[in-house]
Chains A and B, each alone.
Chain A
């Protein structure tokens, strides 16, 4: 698809998505951590497979910062494959022939759930920064309303990586009886100072773009693409690892035999990052990027429980499988280990695997056989325990 068509498709999805949509009216507001409430609001979501008669086979997939609900189908905006279609589908690890898979766009997102680009019914204009700041817990509270709407009491599993993993932890903490198994991958129970720092760089880049216009760029028919591209470029580096970058690009030059002694993209890595930035801005709303990064920054599960992370999981019966990657420096293994220790202290059933890879944080989205065999084994034994036979 051309870039213009992608941008148009993305903006079409904001209010009237091609996904299924559940709309909650003024009588069913979403309570927000900031103190207020959001009403009316809508959640766009995709489902795969069939809910069984006992409603025990539902799996909730939580997407990451710039992900969306199109986890296992062709993305209507980009035309690309679903972002986790290596994992989810008929006969795959999360087998849609056996499980009923749900994935919703988070609140604050830009692909059909209410977010800053959505039209505020009170004004007829986009919310922009008029939308209250959204937290991870707000996102999960909204997802719980969706699960209620689908008539599901308990999810067989909640699965997600990175920001999705934060939602998984929040689900298990806020709704322990509604989560049979939890699979937080490449995540942490709080956003570290370094991670907040990277997010702040991204936000400042967006807000420094003259086309951002205090957030009201949609009404003005503009988009702060330059700032958002820089934000994406900086963030993208944190998703990879030095080893992976060096393996892929080294110091190779881009379409040239010698340095140009100028500031064009001489190196392949520069060209690659520029491409990552350019393609991102077509599909993603800049204000939504501000809201998503803020939600991650505010996440601190221990702080919500008197500073003791174990108390977030007190008495839990949920089975956990925590996964980290050796080369992930955005959410290093130590952060997963903190979660595991807290779960140990809470007496929870927990498995913990660290996957050896040089592909960095993004490894969770890639074809990692060891990750897949761990998830398969964990879910298979949990399915037996839940009476979901193979």
Chain B
């Protein structure tokens, strides 16, 4: 999955470092939409986690398995139901929620399977997005979100504020959150939501039930 960054590959994504920062050593981690397994490898190397992955593209899966990662082919929308309650300490959904058919259900499942969920999202409330719509009257296409409206896998965009509302709606708690700029650098330490929602290009949330 990793629908956001699929076309461009290269330097490690900034949000992954933030995700890794939320995870305690030795934890059981399920990475939903693990792509080529970059985060899992990072976590196994630095945090000695017991890591598993689900990835929608068979090529990504085969790549992960040949590198010794425990990964299965699967879809966040349909395959999370097979996981038992509280099977993991953390379930990670990195830059993938916007590509799911039913984000609310997926989010609910993440918090059923994991004690905590770590979710990173691209922020559609960023000022450049707003400006694109306001001035150009066009659906925004940016370096980070390079798809046109008709070929994008990202079918459920939201803003940081929208996401916080959804978390509230399913009765979960935001334990910690961080907004990042385009380079993956943190923006401020504890800014109000409106500020992050305007200046953050992506955000990473640590959630619990």
Give A contacts to B, CB under 8 Å: 319, 321-322, 340-341, 344-347, 349-356, 370, 373-374, 376-378, 380-382, 384
Complex Cα spacing A341 to B82, Å: 6
Q: How far is the CB of A352 from chain B (nearest CB, A)?
A: 4
Q: Residue among A321, A351, A352, A376 with the most chain B CB within 10 A?
A: A351
Complex Cα spacing A237 to B50, Å: 43
Complex Cα spacing A50 to B115, Å: 45
The reply to whether A354 and B68 form a contact with Cβ atoms under 8 Å apart is no
Give the 4 A-B CB pairs with smallest separation, nearest first: A381-B68, A377-B66, A352-B72, A373-B66
Q: Which residues of B contact A374 (CB under 8 A)?
A: 62, 65-66
Chain B residue at smallest Cβ distance from A376: B66
Complex Cα spacing A345 to B64, Å: 21
The reply to whether B72 and A345 form a contact with Cβ atoms under 8 Å apart is no
The reply to whether B84 and A353 form a contact with Cβ atoms under 8 Å apart is no
Q: Which residues of A contact B62 (CB under 8 A)?
A: 353, 355, 370, 373-374
The reply to whether B72 and A377 form a contact with Cβ atoms under 8 Å apart is no
- Which of B68, B73, B74, B82 contacts A380, CB < 8 Å? B68
The reply to whether A345 and B65 form a contact with Cβ atoms under 8 Å apart is no
Complex Cα spacing A345 to B79, Å: 11
The reply to whether B73 and A354 form a contact with Cβ atoms under 8 Å apart is yes
Q: How far is the CB of A309 from chain B (nearest CB, A)?
A: 11
Q: Which residues of A contact B66 (CB under 8 A)?
A: 373-374, 376-377
The reply to whether A350 and B82 form a contact with Cβ atoms under 8 Å apart is no
Q: How far is the CB of B55 from chain A (nearest CB, A)?
A: 10
Complex Cα spacing A281 to B42, Å: 54
The reply to whether B87 and A347 form a contact with Cβ atoms under 8 Å apart is yes
Interface string of B126-157 (1 = CB under 8 A from A): 00000000000000000000000000000000
The reply to whether A378 and B68 form a contact with Cβ atoms under 8 Å apart is yes
The reply to whether B72 and A351 form a contact with Cβ atoms under 8 Å apart is yes
Does B173 lie at the interface of the complex (its beta carbon under 8 Å from any beta carbon of A)? no
Does B69 lie at the interface of the complex (its beta carbon under 8 Å from any beta carbon of A)? yes
Q: How far is the CB of A263 from chain B (nearest CB, A)?
A: 44
Question: With A349-B52, A356-B58 as given contacts, are A377 and B68 in contact (CB-CB < 8 Å)?
Answer: yes
Q: Tell me the residues in window 6-37 of chain B with beta carbons closer than 8 Å to chain A beta carbons.
A: none
Q: How far is the CB of A353 from chain B (nearest CB, A)?
A: 5
Complex Cα spacing A340 to B62, Å: 15
Q: Tell me the residues in window 26-78 of chain B with beta carbons closer than 8 Å to chain A beta carbons.
A: 50, 52, 58, 61-62, 64-74
Question: With A321-B65, A370-B62, A374-B65 as given contacts, are A352 and B83 in contact (CB-CB < 8 Å)?
Answer: no
The reply to whether A353 and B52 form a contact with Cβ atoms under 8 Å apart is no
Complex Cα spacing A376 to B66, Å: 6
- Which of B58, B82, B87 contacts A354, CB < 8 Å? B58
- Which of B73, B79, B82, B83 contacts A353, CB < 8 Å? B73
Chain B residue at smallest Cβ distance from A342: B82
Complex Cα spacing A355 to B79, Å: 20
Complex Cα spacing A384 to B68, Å: 10
Q: Which residues of B contact A377 (CB under 8 A)?
A: 65-69
Q: How far is the CB of A365 from chain B (nearest CB, A)?
A: 19
Q: Which residues of A contact B74 (CB under 8 A)?
A: 340, 352
Q: How far is the CB of A186 from chain B (nearest CB, A)?
A: 16
Q: Given contact pairs A341-B82, A344-B72, A374-B62, enumerate 6 new A-B contacts (beta carbons under 8 Å).
A: A350-B72, A351-B69, A352-B72, A353-B65, A381-B69, A384-B68
Q: How far is the CB of A356 from chain B (nearest CB, A)?
A: 7
Complex Cα spacing A75 to B107, Å: 56
The reply to whether A344 and B82 form a contact with Cβ atoms under 8 Å apart is yes
Question: With A340-B72, A349-B52, A350-B72 as given contacts, are A378 and B65 in contact (CB-CB < 8 Å)?
Answer: yes
Q: How far is the CB of A264 from chain B (nearest CB, A)?
A: 44
Complex Cα spacing A378 to B63, Å: 11
Q: Which residues of A contact B84 (CB under 8 A)?
A: 344-347
Q: Residue among A344, A377, A380 with the most chain B CB within 10 A?
A: A344
Q: Which residues of A contact B61 (CB under 8 A)?
A: 351-354
Q: Which residues of B contact A370 (CB under 8 A)?
A: 62
Q: Which residues of B contact A321 (CB under 8 A)?
A: 65
Complex Cα spacing A366 to B36, Å: 26
Complex Cα spacing A381 to B67, Å: 8
The reply to whether B82 and A351 form a contact with Cβ atoms under 8 Å apart is no
Chain A residue at smallest Cβ distance from B44: A381
Q: Which residues of B contact A341 (CB under 8 A)?
A: 79, 82
Chain A residue at smallest Cβ distance from B28: A347
Interface string of B152-164 (1 = CB under 8 A from A): 0000000000000
Q: Which residues of A contact B64 (CB under 8 A)?
A: 351
Q: Which residues of A contact B68 (CB under 8 A)?
A: 377-378, 380-382, 384
Interface string of B69-107 (1 = CB under 8 A from A): 111111000010011100100000000000000000000
The reply to whether A351 and B65 form a contact with Cβ atoms under 8 Å apart is yes
Q: How far is the CB of B203 from chain A (nearest CB, A)?
A: 29
Complex Cα spacing A346 to B62, Å: 23
Q: How far is the CB of A88 from chain B (nearest CB, A)?
A: 18
Q: How far is the CB of A255 from chain B (nearest CB, A)?
A: 41
Q: Which residues of B contact A376 (CB under 8 A)?
A: 66
Q: How far is the CB of B143 from chain A (nearest CB, A)?
A: 32
The reply to whether B70 and A351 form a contact with Cβ atoms under 8 Å apart is yes
Complex Cα spacing A344 to B72, Å: 10
Q: Which residues of B contact A378 (CB under 8 A)?
A: 65, 68
